[in-house]
Amino acid sequence: MSITSYNPADPADLVVAVEAPGAEAVRAAVGRARAAQAGWLAAGAGARSAALGRIAEAVEAHAEELAALIVREVGKPLAEARGEVARTAAIWRYYAQAPYEPSGAVHETAAGPGLLLTRRRPYGVAGLIAPWNFPLAIPSWKAAPALAVGNTAVLKPAPEATACALRLAELTALASLPEDVFTVLPGGAEEGVALVEAADVVSFTGSTGVGRAVVRAATGRGVPVQAELGGLNAALVLPDADVELAAGHIAAAIAGYAGQKCTATSRVIAVGAAYAPLREALVKALATVDDSVCGPVVNEAARERMTGAVSSAVEAGASVLVGGRVPERAGWYVEPTLLADVPDQHPLAREEFFGPVAVLHAAADLDEAIALANDTPHSLATSVHTRSLDAALAAADRLDAGMIRVNAPSSGVDFHLPFGGTKGASHGEREQGRAALEFYTVSRTVSVLPGGGL
């Protein structure tokens, strides 16, 4: 079987085709990574820090080429692709400092002389499984902290993002990362399953169904696992909000990169008198979104899923406020779409569709809006739009989401802070920031008592 990826804006353009390596090759790569791990750890904080810093430089030196590859392989608009490349370099640079961070603490003994120490140590080989939608940033925010603390890593990218991942591997080699410290092995489900069966610690990002299977397999082996899964993210707009500003943020979170972000907004909840002006402002904002913001969805199946869901919602009584059509052009484009009156139990109101489509709800007050927002098992990011500090504080207290963003799109990420959702949206330790350093290490307690010679 071969692994292929095609340009979503021009499906005749084959970006890459490679032979699927198979499960045995995954086990062999993990074996080589395990053999390399002791040397990588023993090289010391200075060597690891310098290597990660060189990767940041290599990414920066190839920024335009990488951005163009992201555009071509996964259809991300150029401005966002450039932003992702800049963030990728920043992630490597941020974690280049991590090897110098304290790795534990010193405690007093309960009685008598001696030293009690905690010390965080790497697990060995990190198995990293990534989705296609952030083809450089997600592999990097998994690999950089894993490597910083002395693990080696094997990455299995999504098939749709194979060329980007292979290019990242080339850049790490260009940055003189020692052999087998970071391996990229293209593949699909078979290689993913094999990696989960072989790695010492597993980090997965992708869809909820696959993620649950990965968590079961890793925990069945007693291996630590984190999983960042799909979201069904809401935007709450209060009557006191600056409606134009809110509509701009929300339109960007619905349509930016064709809604293909786990933090994209797919439910808009207008409180009381905000409903009518917000509906008007959102329709206007979404109608003017162009390719420089939205772009195509990743493949034909994704487009069919979106258009099928919109038609079935309309059959069930929903009305299309804007969009809803498939543009007549090459590429997997879907118009940014907003619907109202979608029945509560319709899949469009309950499941992640991963496209530029959102549902508008009305809520009588903040309490009802929060209850609506929390009524999902996939709470990753919720945005709240208000000028009232009290309302913002109440929302921050009571929204059951991993990330609460006041007067900002739901779809922003700060790589130096922990990232993840609640309930079904996440499993295990958070990604990014210092939380990632904890995830890729285990604490050892060391007791040092006098040997009796003094």
Q: Which is nearer to ligand NAD, 262 or 310 (CB)?
A: 262
Parallel/antiparallel/unpaired status of strands 426-427 and 225-228: antiparallel
Q: Is residue 283 classed as helix, strand or coil in its secondary structure?
A: helix
The helices-and-strands tally (H runs, E runs) of the chain is: 15, 20
Active site residue 228: yes
Q: Which is nearer to ligand NAD, 53 or 188 (CB)?
A: 188
Q: Please report, in angstroms and rounded to a whole number, the separation of the first and last CA atoms in the chain.
A: 68
Residue with tokens 């990632």: 436
| Length of the chain (residues) | 454
Q: How far is the CB of 62 from ligand NAD (least distance, A)?
A: 23
Enumerate the β-bridge partners of residue 2.
19
Q: Is residue 445 classed as helix, strand or coil in its secondary structure?
A: strand
DSSP type of residue 357: E
Q: Which is nearer to ligand NAD, 80 or 352 (CB)?
A: 352
Q: How far is the CB of 133 from ligand NAD (least distance, A)?
A: 5
DSSP type of residue 237: E
Catalytic-labelled residue, pool 160, 228, 335, 431: 228
Q: How far is the CB of 266 from ligand NAD (least distance, A)?
A: 10
Q: Which is nearer to ligand NAD, 294 or 425 (CB)?
A: 425
Distance CA 415, CA 426 (A): 17
Which residues does 268 contact at the CB level (< 8 Å), separation at least 6? 234, 235, 237, 250, 254, 278, 282, 338, 358, 359, 360, 361
Q: How far is the CB of 206 from ligand NAD (least distance, A)?
A: 3
Using Cβ positions, the residue closest to ligand NAD within the complex turns out to be 192
CB 182 within 8 A of CB 147: yes
What are the angstrom distances between the C-alpha of 43 and each of 39, 48, 127, 155, 243?
6, 7, 21, 22, 55
Distance CA 327, CA 306 (A): 13
Q: Which is nearer to ligand NAD, 15 or 362 (CB)?
A: 15
Q: How far is the CB of 111 from ligand NAD (least distance, A)?
A: 47
Q: Which is nearer to ligand NAD, 270 or 401 (CB)?
A: 401
Q: Which is nearer to ligand NAD, 210 or 314 (CB)?
A: 210
CB 374 within 8 A of CB 397: no
Parallel/antiparallel/unpaired status of strands 378-379 and 422-423: antiparallel
What are the angstrom distances between the C-alpha of 17 and each of 1, 131, 206, 313, 322?
10, 18, 22, 37, 38
Enumerate the β-bridge partners of residue 72.
none
Active site residue 164: no
Q: How far is the CB of 228 from ligand NAD (least distance, A)?
A: 3
Q: How far is the CB of 351 from ligand NAD (least distance, A)?
A: 10
Site residues for ligand NAD per CB under 6 A: 129-133, 156-159, 188-189, 192-193, 196, 205-207, 210, 213-214, 228-231, 262, 352, 354, 380
Catalytic-labelled residue, pool 73, 164, 197, 262: 262
Q: Which residues are catalytic?
A: 228, 262
